[in-house]
A and B are shown apart, each in its own frame.
Chain A
């Protein structure tokens, strides 16, 4: 299954895919270099990773037309590992990440994405954009005015060049920006930092390397926390990006296959001396915009990137960092969900809180996984709180027999259990209490416990207690009652409410 692909995915759109692949490759180079610098490794680690991940996901990924490579989200998670233990441990962690992702794919964890609500996704994307921008700040502090001028000029080229007639729509403006700024820096002999100052660039094709780490339990203890985080963040970003590409192209993708594909790609990257990566939102949008749709576009992007880097390494080392910063600021702006700011006013407060909390936690911890965790948790709590409101108790008194009948209506679970207990009047002296549960749903054990307490309390006050409809009400407690997926079964449980 993993290696099967439709013929149209390769040859259905050759012209568009090749051109888009070239455009993407040109934008991938600065990104891969920038993310290597974030992670604290030589640019060649990111470049090899980008090549490897792009090529492997082209072959085995579940979403044709999506671009995967070395990414900022992943790079941020590696910083301390590289700092404390060095590159070899990063490569080992990358391998383990791949293995974990493949396991996730076979366990079909891709479907867990349904728990990640829209506002968490928006928060993730915005946080990512902010992190990419913040990662550029070290290049912009304590530097001469040349760097600011170059960066501003670069951004101007990127955003204004496309408006030129004829050339504007045929030459990628990030490339024009890089070439122009490099020429300026060389011509005027500007003393500013270049890519060559940041570490080694690739001079050969990548070679197979087994990470030089001791195969011990200690090693696993060191790398596992990092690998787990990398696997989670990688899958989250990949699946979010896949959804974005699905929407843009009006086609569907195989999310579980994408998990396995990402895993294989990371294993490949780890074995060829690259860092872990995942799908890239910005690059995938650029690919679709440039007319890329098929697997060919991703393959071309990866291979062209390597060819460029290996043969033009002299030139690439002379690219001023300011040009890279300009491109990365563009990526950051393009990744940011502008609509989410516009919609803040219209969306309910709880949604906004989830989104903003996700952003704050990510920016605080530099770990997208924590942000998503907090976001999903908050969204679930808000949801539980909302559903908890859908419960009320009404009662009537039959004076003749001195019997009070309580009717419980709605959803009873951990959140509304206390509300249930508080709805009964224990001070009222009655002989008999009837609790009618026909129209209630008990979702968990908390609700049963709460009901038990109510019954005990009434008995202590000397009343006879009768429960009606308990079986119907508690039929929803059972786990996996989803086996009643037929409409009439659901109607039987939920009907009449």
Chain B
């Protein structure tokens, strides 16, 4: 992997998870020796009107006046948002610098987060983002409004952070034999990030056929130096079993494939990824 052009990108919005996002991003950036970029987007809401004058009349130069008025209102609002964003970015910058990152890059963009991330995608090595942003800050049973569309529209690893930082010691690969899971195994095998960690390769299935594919995957990992491998085959409902396993073995980070089904499939049957994101207490690294 080329390390220098691709950055660890942390998305911050000033919500309660921002600090954890910074910490995890700093941790990854240090381990994989990649530069760190902090991104804050200013979301405009053109669908909502900033002024409402119900007088309902128009006179000479109404159009010009209205345009002038709208421009100045929006200018003031944007300036304020820009300043707030700067403050959030500076706080985050200080935090990651204390964590040992030499010169983090800060970036502020207009537009929705999804839009910005798609524009920046080529530059991303790993994306670090909070499970929920400002909108759902105090609703622990909800995942962020934009999270699913972000995960679906990017093709880069995404670390979803949901709790305060704790340097991961034990990771779990949720393995189901899918392409994304295969990719997860390959990545764990090759990336610097996982050196020195204990890796639980866990497969939950209803039948016994999964055993052979699991063995192949285990072989890939077993000869890697610095990774202590534990292979486990479990039965039951995948999301519940995995969460229980995570809790009982004190796993700090879950690696799994994400949203391999279409939106329609997920709409009808519910998305496994969404369930995992809601129920697990630990950060999840998603691979597409």
B53 proximal to A (CB < 8 A): yes
- Knowing A16-B48, A285-B66 are in contact, say whether A338-B54 is a contact too (CB < 8 A): no
Interface SS of chain A: helix, strand, loop or mixed? helix
B269 proximal to A (CB < 8 A): no
- Knowing A13-B47, A247-B67, A289-B66 are in contact, say whether A331-B58 is a contact too (CB < 8 A): yes
CB closest residue in chain A, given B63: A285
- Knowing A244-B63, A248-B70, A285-B66 are in contact, say whether A12-B48 is a contact too (CB < 8 A): yes
Interchain residue pairs A-B with the least CB separation, the first 10: A334-B58, A291-B52, A172-B56, A12-B47, A162-B55, A291-B49, A8-B47, A338-B61, A16-B49, A23-B56
Bound complex: CA A161 to CA B59 (Å): 13
B74 contacts A250, C-beta separation under 8 Å: yes
> Quick one: which of A144-203 are within 8 Å of B by CB?
158-159, 161-162, 168-175
Nearest Cβ on chain B to A82's Cβ, whole angstroms:
29
Of A9, A159, A293, the residue contacting B49 (CB under 8 A) is: A293
Q: Per-residue 0/1 for A271-307: is the Cβ within 8 Å of any B Cβ (1 yes, 0 no)?
A: 0000000000010011011111110000000000000
- Report A-chain residues with C-beta under 8 Å of the C-beta of B56: 23-24, 26-27, 172-175, 286, 290
B57 contacts A171, C-beta separation under 8 Å: no
Nearest Cβ on chain A to B48's Cβ, whole angstroms:
5
A494 proximal to B (CB < 8 A): no
Bound complex: CA A288 to CA B58 (Å): 11
Bound complex: CA A168 to CA B54 (Å): 8
Bound complex: CA A282 to CA B60 (Å): 11
B-side interface residues toward A, CB under 8 Å?
Answer: 45-49, 51-64, 66-67, 70, 74
A289 contacts B53, C-beta separation under 8 Å: yes
A330 proximal to B (CB < 8 A): yes
B66 contacts A251, C-beta separation under 8 Å: no
- Report A-chain residues with C-beta under 8 Å of the C-beta of B52: 16, 19-20, 290-291
A286 contacts B47, C-beta separation under 8 Å: no
- Report B-chain residues with C-beta under 8 Å of the C-beta of A290: 52-54, 56
Bound complex: CA A294 to CA B48 (Å): 8
**Chain A interface residue count: which class?**
35 or more
- Report A-chain residues with C-beta under 8 Å of the C-beta of B49: 13, 16, 20, 288, 291-293
Q: Other than A19-B54, A286-B56, give 14 A-B pairs with Cβ distance below 8 A.
A: A6-B47, A20-B54, A162-B53, A162-B55, A171-B55, A247-B67, A285-B58, A285-B63, A288-B49, A291-B52, A333-B60, A334-B58, A334-B60, A335-B58
Of B46, B48, B58, the residue contacting A289 (CB under 8 A) is: B58
A333 contacts B48, C-beta separation under 8 Å: no
Count chain A CB atoms within 10 A of each CB in B52, B56, B70, B74 and give the residue with the most: B56
A413 proximal to B (CB < 8 A): no
Q: Per-residue 0/1 for A296-331: is the Cβ within 8 Å of any B Cβ (1 yes, 0 no)?
A: 000000000000000000000000000000000011
Task: Name 7 interchain pairs, CB-CB below 8 A, sorted by A.
Answer: A6-B47, A16-B49, A159-B59, A169-B53, A247-B67, A285-B66, A289-B58
Bound complex: CA A8 to CA B43 (Å): 14
- Report B-chain residues with C-beta under 8 Å of the C-beta of A334: 57-60, 62-63
CB closest residue in chain A, given B56: A172
- Knowing A13-B48, A293-B48, A338-B61 are in contact, say whether A173-B55 is a contact too (CB < 8 A): yes
- Knowing A169-B55, A333-B60 are in contact, say whether A288-B47 is a contact too (CB < 8 A): no
B57 contacts A158, C-beta separation under 8 Å: yes
- Report B-chain residues with C-beta under 8 Å of the C-beta of A249: 46, 70
Bound complex: CA A250 to CA B47 (Å): 10
